[in-house]
Amino acid sequence: MRKYFIWASLLLGSVLTGCANVAVQDTASENYAKEFNAPPSGWAGLYLYRTCNIMGMSLKKNLYVDGQYIGETSRCRFFYRLVEPGMHVLQTESEFSENDMSLNFLEGKNHYVKQYLRPGVFVGGANLEVMDEDEAKKDIADYSLAENKDDPNKNLKLFTNQPGKGSIPGPQNAEAAQSLAK
């Protein structure tokens, strides 16, 4: 009996302490993103975030916009991106394949999407949910801005790299936002 208690304690300890982290951007960029300014002219804003829930805290999950790899999530992290107005497909890595959702992005508006984890057969799965602006802002206020990892080698096959597809990192300050205006 004692042997099982020791193994169970070790397993529980590794689950509770095995937190996965991803690289974060500098404080100035994070502070600018948390101002929730309207996106530059000709763009829509996208905040993708993962809550601080302890479920699956040791898991990292890939995120994509129209099949373009933007990075991995971990708990208490968010991405700030810009997309061209119109329909885009957001994808998250899940247990067996990517889960996706289509969202119509409006010019000049920020959109908020939460990635959440759920139990899986072998490893935790993930899904995406459009969030209310006020609730999302409240969540994101305590999170760290994840470093954009735009890696073409990790793009999904459906990514076409054509205008209107994918996303770009959000501006890091007001001057950068002005330079991105169309």
Tens of pLDDT, residue by residue over 136-163, are 999 999 999 999 888 888 888 877 666 5
CATH number at residue 84: 2.60.40
* pTM greater than the 0.95 cutoff: no
Task: Flag whether 55 is in a domain.
Answer: yes
Report how many domains make up the chain.
Answer: 1
**Residue 106 domain boundaries:** 40-172
Task: Flag whether 18 is in a domain.
Answer: no
| Contact of 126 with 118, CB cutoff 8 Å | yes
pLDDT digits (tens, 9 = 90+) for 11-46: 343 343 344 555 666 889 999 999 999 999 999 999
Q: CA 96 to CA 119: how far, in whole Å?
A: 12
- What average pLDDT does this structure show over 152-178? 84
Task: Flag whether 2 is in a domain.
Answer: no
| Contact of 167 with 46, CB cutoff 8 Å | yes
Predicted pLDDT of residue 8: 38
Give the pair of three-digit tokens for residue 15: 């689950």
Task: Flag whether 23 is in a domain.
Answer: no
Task: Flag whether 3 is in a domain.
Answer: no
Q: Categorise residue 13: left if φ over 0, alpha if ψ from -120 to 50, beta otherwise.
A: alpha
Task: Flag whether 165 is in a domain.
Answer: yes
Task: Flag whether 177 is in a domain.
Answer: no
Angle at 13 between CA 7 and CA 17, to 5 degrees: 150
Task: Flag whether 71 is in a domain.
Answer: yes
